[in-house]
Structure 1
Amino acid sequence: MVSTIQNTDVKQKDADRAVVVAVTCRAVFESGADDGDDIYGGGVAFPLLQALQRVNERLLEESPAESLLFDVILITTDSQQQQQSSRITSSTRHYGLEVSRFCFSSQEDFTESLLKNNVQIFLTTDRDEVLLASQNGVLSALLDQQLALCPSEQLRVMISGDAVIRPDTDPMPGGQQAAQSFSAQLGQMRQKFGVLDSPLSIVLVTLHGGRESCGNALRTLRSRGVSVDEAYCLAGAPRGPILSVLRSHFLLCDGVSGLEE
């Protein structure tokens, strides 16, 4: 059974324009043992939500009527946390997190809540959930423990040139189409800020091929309205070391994606 609760503490986003991002509650808050405190501690994805919110704040500073904003949903499949739904809402309010809706579901049918809420990207620390969501056509990314070290003042999104930048096919695979759509929305947001002091940074990484491969990926992204702030060509080198230095919040691919191999 799926239950969705609207957060009346925040202004709801424009459903036709907003970029819906769903994050698992267990990644945002540390549940732990019930110590009687009404507030959860911050989890590994806490800086991510702050960074998403910072982008929204800056967009509205640029234009108060802006409707292309991140619309954040918390997804809860943990039975213990579901029994403490008031603690989740209290924690969100305590930290000033701009969460539009809270979705409660079982592990088996959480993808139903993603589809019902038109989620454009689903972020979780559970690899099985990434696989299941991807198989149901929802663009997903795997979050890891390094996320806790990522900045909260700037959203850093890494795009895998090898996976996303491919010649268009007919029909286009669902994962590729979703990744292209999401990256295009990020590109629109990024265009609203200058070169310096942007709350959104887009990083391109090509794992294979040489400079030509990276150049092709850059040109393809630009043709879709996506300008990147940084580009790296690994040419087959292990990606782990550079990922730890770049500290991106998540890696965008066309299927199962994450910050680890």
Structure 2
Amino acid sequence: MIETVENADVQQVSSENALVIAVSHSAVFGAEGEVQEAGVAFPLVQAIQRVNERLLQLDSSGSESLQFEVVLICTNGAQRDQVQTRTRDHGLQIHRFSFSGEDDFIDSLLKNRVHLFLTTDSNAASQAANKGVFSALLDPLSACGPSEQLRVMFCGDAMLDPSSEVKTGSHQASQVFWSHLGKIRQKFGAVDSPLSLVLLSSQRDINSCCRALQSLRTLGVNVDEAYCLGGSPRKPMMSLLRPHFLLGAPEE
């Protein structure tokens, strides 16, 4: 059984133009039973809030519909009251809560028309991707991301590797997300943007990085920074740049 509940404490976003991001409960608040309150996705949700706040500031009417919409995915219905209370206590702007069982959380993602699913569970990410839901796996580095700016990194290597689509969701779903993300980035100037887009390529051939840049530009995505590592490992650079999540990254 799937139950979706709107958060009455948060102003809802027009679903037609919203970029819907679903985040697993354990990614936001940590695994069940852990003492730690904040999970790796906690600063990510806060950073998304900053972007939405700035978008509304740009629109004098306060009705900007091109925003992020956050859906919290919880597979333990018994935690319903606890989840909502913790969200309220931490001031997180979760727009919807979706409660389902372990076996039908994919239907929950589809029902909520999710554009991107973020989780710390590699099995859940793979299941969602196999059903055409664009997904990304969060790692401990995600918890190091700043809460005042949303930092999204694109893996140029995976973008040019057709086989990676099996791991990251359907090609069409990923392009829809990237295009929508590019539109949101265009709302802000080059300086003091609450949203930063970065391209990272590990390929030795610099032309590969150029092709990845061109692929993004055809979708209306202009990155703030691009790094071509020339065959060097990407993790040291990721530790320095501190992205909240990496899109289109093959498993290492």
Distance in 1, Cα, partners of 2:169 & 2:147:
31
Q: How has the CA–CA distance of structure 1 residues 174 and 248 changed in structure 2, closer, same or farther, with 3 Å as cutoff?
A: closer
Q: Secondary structure at the match of 1:83?
A: helix
- Aligned-pair CA distance for 1:227: 0.7
Q: Which has the higher helix share?
A: 2
Q: Following superposition of structure 1 onto structure 2, how do residues 163-178 of structure 1 map, counting pairs within 5 Å?
A: 163-165=158-160, 175-178=170-173
1:53 pairs with 49, 55, 62, which one? 49
- Aligned-pair CA distance for 1:166: 6.9
Partner of 1:224: 219
Distance in 1, Cα, partners of 2:214 & 2:30:
41
Q: Secondary structure at the match of 1:202?
A: strand
Q: Note if contact 1:164-1:176 (Cα within 8 Å) is conserved in structure 2.
A: no
- Measured against aligned partners, the alpha-carbon deviations of 1:23-80 in whole angstroms (never above 9, x if no partner) come to 0011111355499xxxx82211100000111100001111122111000000012x3x
Q: Note if contact 2:129-2:169 (Cα within 8 Å) is conserved in structure 1.
A: no
- Aligned-pair CA distance for 1:165: 4.8
Partner of 2:66: 68
Partner of 2:7: 7
Partner of 2:29: 29
- Aligned-pair CA distance for 1:143: 0.5
1:251 pairs with 236, 246, 249, which one? 246
Partner of 2:165: none
**Paired AA for residue 94 in structure 1:** D
Q: Following superposition of structure 1 onto structure 2, how do residues 170-189 of structure 1 map, counting pairs within 5 Å?
A: 175-189=170-184
Distance in 2, Cα, partners of 1:232 & 1:200:
18
- Aligned-pair CA distance for 1:220: 2.6
Partner of 2:107: 112
- Aligned-pair CA distance for 1:84: 2.5
Q: Following superposition of structure 1 onto structure 2, how do residues 88-127 of structure 1 map, counting pairs within 5 Å?
A: 88-127=83-122
TM value normalised by structure 1: 0.88
- Aligned-pair CA distance for 1:15: 1.1
- Measured against aligned partners, the alpha-carbon deviations of 1:178-198 in whole angstroms (never above 9, x if no partner) come to 111111111111111111110
TM value normalised by structure 2: 0.91
Distance in 1, Cα, partners of 2:173 & 2:160:
12
- Measured against aligned partners, the alpha-carbon deviations of 1:178-221 in whole angstroms (never above 9, x if no partner) come to 11111111111111111111000000012224222212222232
1:42 pairs with 38, 58, 68, which one? 38
Count, aligned residues: 245
Q: Note if contact 1:164-1:179 (Cα within 8 Å) is conserved in structure 2.
A: no
**Paired AA for residue 43 in structure 2:** P
- Aligned-pair CA distance for 1:116: 0.5
Partner of 2:17: 17
Q: Secondary structure at the match of 2:246?
A: strand
**Paired AA for residue 101 in structure 2:** S
Q: Secondary structure at the match of 1:84?
A: helix
Q: Secondary structure at the match of 2:117?
A: strand
Q: How has the CA–CA distance of structure 1 residues 165 and 65 changed in structure 2, closer, same or farther, with 3 Å as cutoff?
A: farther
- Aligned-pair CA distance for 1:4: 1.3
Report which stretch shifted further, 151-160 or 201-210. Answer: 201-210
Q: How has the CA–CA distance of structure 1 residues 45 and 210 changed in structure 2, closer, same or farther, with 3 Å as cutoff?
A: same
Partner of 1:170: none
Q: Note if contact 1:7-1:99 (Cα within 8 Å) is conserved in structure 2.
A: yes
Q: Structure 1: any 5+ residue segments left out of the alignment?
A: 168-172
Report whether the alignment pairs 1:215 with 2:210: yes
CA RMSD of aligned residues (A): 2.1
User: Identity of paired residues, percent?
Assistant: 52
Report which stretch shifted further, 56-65 or 128-137. Answer: 56-65
Q: Structure 2: any 5+ residue segments left out of the alignment?
A: 163-167
Q: Secondary structure at the match of 2:182?
A: helix
